[in-house]
Amino acid sequence: WRNLMVAIPVLLLLAANLAFHVGAMSGHGMDVGLRLGLAVLIFLITLIGGRIIPSFTRNWLSRQAAPQMPAPFGRFDGLCLIAGAVALANWVWQPHAITTALFLALAAALHAVRMSRWRGLSTWRSPLLLMLHIAYGFIPFGLAATAAAALDLAEPAMGLHLFGIGAVGGMTLAVMMRATRGHTGRSLEAGPFLTAAFVLIAAAALVRAMLPGLWIAGIDGITLSAGLWSLGFAFFTTSIAPWLVMPSVERRQPNRAAQA
């Protein structure tokens, strides 16, 4: 029964898709559907990422014999989830209200504190793990930027791209890297190409959010961001493609564990 809870976000994504198409056909606009879909994805990252990131961090720090561990999931995390859900719901329906700005600002602060309890800076020697923390970090920044946009202190596109490119794109990429290496029997290490892929995606988010009007050698900020995004996923795809079509390392070396 607990797994049935996963159906709720799926149904909300369905509702977002329907709202988008109904808005497009009726001429009332597609913004509500777009915001709802993005809000659901951000909430899923806070829910699932809030479980796996401190868990993976704890496991890695334990192997390093670190003196301090990430805080376990508790009431404070529940408060962060509720605050985030309320803020995002208000943003979906009334993106320019003062109350929405207040809820978003509160959620941004809470999620920033939540992140600080996960010992992310201690993982700097493990890029594959640090990526998860950085991707999650785009959420409080996105919430803060969206709060500023609600008060007309920033462009709405800033928060949208911190959410969409940084949080959703970055977290998706980081989890795919970890899952691909793990399920093909490889060590949980990023290596230079996968690390570069994530750096490119993070840079794409920052350029698109902060410097859309940038102009370098005839290339504007939006085009530069698109190029960084495409290059990042090209690095990722070319790096993992051979692993996905070959037998896993464990199948090719069945006695590796015994020899170790």
Q: 215-216 and 219-220: which strand pairing?
A: antiparallel
- Note the pLDDT tens digit of each residue in 60-79: 999 998 889 999 999 999 99
pLDDT tens digit string along 194-210? Answer: 999 999 999 999 999 99
Q: pLDDT (tens digit, 9 = 90+) per residue, 78-119?
A: 999 999 999 999 999 999 999 999 999 999 999 999 999 999
Got the DSSP string for 36-52?
A: HHHHHHHHHIIIIIHHH
Structural domain includes residue 259: no
Q: Which domain holds residue 61?
A: 2-244
Phi-psi region of 218 (alpha: psi -120 to 50; beta: other; left: phi over 0): left
Q: Which two tokens stand for residue 211?
A: 């410097």
Q: Does some domain include residue 258?
A: no
Structural domain contains residue 203: yes
Residue 247: count other Cβ atoms within 10 Å of its Cβ. 11
Q: Please indicate, yes or no, if residue 45 is contained in any of the structural domains.
A: yes
Rg (CA), the chain: 20
How long, in residues, is the chain? 260
User: Domain for residue 256, yes or no?
Assistant: no
Within-domain flag for 192: yes
**Number of independent structural domains in the chain:** 1
Domain assignment of residue 255, yes or no: no
